[in-house]
Structure formats: C-alpha cells, structure tokens
C-alpha cells in the first residue's frame, strides 16, 4: 500500500503548492453505514479504513491536516456537500457519472473492494 499512499500524497502536495506554502486543511466526513470504511462507536472517534488512510497521509506530509466530521453522513448529502464545496475530499467512493462530474478521482487506488452479492442456496 506504500506506493498508492505516496501517489495520493504527491497529488495533495501539488495542490498544496498551488494554494501557497501555508498548511493545507482538507474537509471530509464519515459516510453513514459504510463499515469497514468508517466505523461508528458511541463516545469514540470515527475509526476504520478511511480514517487510517487519511491519518497516514498527514504523517507523511506534516503540512497537511484532514478534518473529518464525526457526524456520519448519508451518501447523497456527501455528494451534495462535495458539489457545493462544503467538503474537499471523500475517501473510497465508487465511480458514478455524477461523482465523475463533480470530483477528480485519484487514478491510483488506495485499496480494492471485493464485495459480492450472495443468495440462499435453496
């Protein structure tokens, strides 16, 4: 996973240089009902794959800060917030025509999902 994280960090560093040498804060939110990407636990900070990935990015680039809203948010609201500029990045969204229209997808995947639909044998 080291190479994909570096590819995303490089993309974010280019963005940071474009806005100046000041620390860069990117806003995001936890996606409602999306464990293991985001795991909700009463009284604890949001955990899961995405917070771990985002934390790793901030360790690689000390000038980068990622603010994760602790309020789990439905996917339609996340899309609207991204489109309207209320959040800057979203972790692990599947590609759809709308999402391709409102956001730039980093070409290097951070992880691959292998979920399958299953049914009863009878």
Count how many Cα atoms sit within 13 Å of the Cα of residue 47 in the half-sphere of its side chain. 4
Q: Tell me the range of 6-15, 29-38, 60-69, 77-86 where mean pLDDT is highest.
A: 77-86
Counting every residue written for the chain, the total comes to 122
Is the distance from CB of 70 to CB of 48 less than 8 angstroms? no
Q: Are 67 and 25 in contact (CB under 8 A)?
A: yes
Per-residue pLDDT of 16-59, as tens digits, reads 555 556 789 999 999 999 988 899 888 888 899 999 999 999 99
Task: Output the pLDDT for position 107.
Answer: 84
Tell me the whole-structure pTM to 2 decimals: 0.75
Residue 86 has a pLDDT of 96
pLDDT digits (tens, 9 = 90+) for 85-122: 999 999 988 889 999 999 998 888 877 777 788 899 99
Q: pLDDT over 90 for what percent of the chain?
A: 49
Chain position carrying tokens 């603010």: 67
Residue 8 has pLDDT above 80, yes or no: no
Average pLDDT over residues 71-96: 94
- Whole-number Å distance between alpha carbons of 71 and 55: 18
Closest CA relative to residue 5, chosen from 52, 53, 55: 53
């Amino acid at each position: 996973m080291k190479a994909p994280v570096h590819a995303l960090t490089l993309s974010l560093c280019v963005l940071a240089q474009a806005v100046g040498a000041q620390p860069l804060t990117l806003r995001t939110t936890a996606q409602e009902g999306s464990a293991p990407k985001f795991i909700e636990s009463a009284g604890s900070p949001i955990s899961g794959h995405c917070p771990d990935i985002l934390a790793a990015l901030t360790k690689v680039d000390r000038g980068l800060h990622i603010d994760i809203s602790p309020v789990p948010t439905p996917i339609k609201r996340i899309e609207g917030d991204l489109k309207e500029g209320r959040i800057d990045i979203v972790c692990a969204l599947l590609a759809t025509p709308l999402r391709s229209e409102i956001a730039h997808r980093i070409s290097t995947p951070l992880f691959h999902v292998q979920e399958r639909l299953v049914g009863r044998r009878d």
